[in-house]
Structure 1
Amino acid sequence: MSLQKPVMRGLLGKRLRFHLPIAFALSIMAAVGFKYTVTEPRKQAYADFYKHYDAVKEFNAMREAGIFESVEPSGK
Structure 2
Amino acid sequence: MSQALLSKPQMRGLLAKRLRFHIIGAFVFSLSVVAAYKFGVAEPRKRSYANFYKNYDAVKEFEAMRDAGVFQGVGPKGQ
Q: Do both share a fold (TM > 0.5)?
A: yes
Tell whether 2:48 aligns with 1:45: yes
Work out which of the two has the higher radius of gyration on C-alpha atoms and give 1 or 2: 2
> Where does the alignment leave 5 or more consecutive residues of structure 2 unmatched?
none
Structure 2 CA distance for aligned equivalents of residues 57 and 74 of structure 1: 12
Choose the corresponding residue for 1:70, options 59, 69, 73.
73
Percent same amino acid among aligned pairs?
A: 58
Deviation for aligned residue 1:16: 1.0
Letter paired with 2:21: F
Give the structure-1-normalised TM-score.
0.84
Structure 1 CA distance for aligned equivalents of residues 70 and 36 of structure 2: 41
Q: Which residue number in structure 2 is paired with residue 58 of structure 1?
A: 61
| 3-state SS, counterpart of residue 70 of structure 2 | coil
Structure 1 CA distance for aligned equivalents of residues 24 and 53 of structure 2: 42
Q: Which residue number in structure 1 is paired with residue 35 of structure 2?
A: 32
| 3-state SS, counterpart of residue 56 of structure 2 | coil
**Runs of 4+ deviating beyond 3 Å:** 1-9
Q: Which residue number in structure 1 is paired with residue 17 of structure 2?
A: 14
Structure 2 CA distance for aligned equivalents of residues 17 and 60 of structure 1: 62
> Where does the alignment leave 5 or more consecutive residues of structure 1 unmatched?
none
Give the structure-2-normalised TM-score.
0.81
Paired positions, count: 76
